[in-house]
Structure formats: C-alpha cells, structure tokens
Amino acid sequence: MTRPIALITGASRGLGFALAEALSETHHIVAVGRTVGGLEDLDDRIKAKGGEATLAPMDITVPEAMAQLCRSVHDRWGSIDMWLHTAVHAAPLTPASHIDSKDWAKSVSINLNAMGHLVPFIAPLLGANGTAVFFDDPQGAGKFFGSYGATKAAQIALARNWQAETASTGPAVKILTPAPMSTATRARFYPGEDREALASPHDEAQRLLAELRT
C-alpha cells in the first residue's frame, strides 16, 4: 500500500460519503457505515476515479465490531494517517419536556457513547503523526434540539479534551464546522427548507479538506 490510509466513520451518506469520495484521489479509504447500499455506491464512485476503498459495513456503537476492525487495519497496514468521524444520529426535534426515551438512548449511543471506545481503539493507529477530525454543529444549541444538541455538544467536548491532551505529542485533533448542507440529517430538522440554497456535501467536503491543509 503506497497511498496514505483514511478511516471514515459514517461514510455511507452525507458529508462522510463526500469526504470519502474526495479523499480517494490521494488516500486509500476505509469506509465504515451501517448502510450497505450507500457503501457500495461510494465504492463505485471511488473506483470510477481510479481509487480504492475497503468497505466496513459495521455499527460504530458495537465495541467488539470496532475492535475487530481496528485490529484488521493494524494487521494489514500497521497504522492510518487520518480518521474523520461523521457518524451521527439526528433525533426528531422536540421540546426537552417531551424527549422520547428511545430517541434519547439512540442519540447517546451513537453521538457520545461510541466515542468512548472509538478514540481509545483508533488513537494507537494514528500514532503521533496522524490526524483525527471531528465536525461541530452549532445549530444543536437551538430550541427543540435537545437530544441531538446535548449529545453532539458532549461529543465535541470530548474531542476538545483529546485535542488539548495531544497538542504537544500528537495525533493532531481538528474540529471543523461545516456550513449548512443539503443532507438527509438536515432535512430531518428542516423538512420545508429550500435545499437549493444550501451547500452541497461535495463542495463542502472540498472546502473542509482545504481548511485541513492550511
């Protein structure tokens, strides 16, 4: 393997899909996602560009599955160069006093609890020279975003902790803020919104990757 390795969690759609496709021009992509069809579509697009991907149709909330994946990555390549974490659960908007317990549990599981094993599993693969990238979402602080906003904010808080801890030792931990995009996640929050006025995930992926390189 001569290309650097980019591991993308949440690669089967939205921003993760777009980042994987864009990075495939320079990286071998390890694409993690629960939607098999989305991963297969991504693989087709990457192959059409002359790139290569390893598909991992897995659930990030299952520690055993993620441990197996990271062990396989280590055995095959020894390390990775980048980890981009885009997986997220967008619970329906609701007043805090009407939060559904199942939506809350799913938000905590995907948006927060998964970080408790992903970071320890993936950090050794990144070593001192790799880069981990997380994506903030300030809209989660608004009213009715309770389940999503609270768990997303906690995720980013943990990323900031890791960022401070590794500032002098590596890996580099980056936190970027995407512009509003025409994704399925945003459509759940704003179903009547004019999607033509939003950034495309493809364009935003290019902008964010350019920001990473500066």
**Domain ranges in the chain?**
5-205
Q: Report residue 89 CA to chain centroid gap.
A: 11
Q: Which of 57, 61, 71 is nearest to 12 (CA)?
A: 57
Identity at 190, one-letter amino acid code = Y
Residue numbers of the chain with a pLDDT score lower than 50: none
Q: What is the pLDDT of residue 84?
A: 98
CB 156 within 8 A of CB 176: no
Q: What is the pLDDT of residue 190?
A: 86
Q: What is the pLDDT of residue 193?
A: 86
CB 178 within 8 A of CB 126: no
Q: Which two tokens stand for residue 110?
A: 């995907």
Q: Report residue 140 CA to chain centroid gap.
A: 16
Q: Which of 114, 100, 106 is nearest to 9 (CA)?
A: 114
Q: What is the pLDDT of residue 52?
A: 97
Looking at CATH, the fold of the domain delimited by 5-205 is given as: Rossmann fold (3.40.50)
CA-derived radius of gyration, the chain: 17
Q: What is the pLDDT of residue 188?
A: 82
Q: Provide the total of helices (H) and of strands (E) in the chain, helices listed first.
A: 8, 6
Q: What is the pLDDT of residue 197?
A: 87
Q: What is the pLDDT of residue 1?
A: 55
Identity at 154, one-letter amino acid code = A
Residue 145 DSSP symbol: B
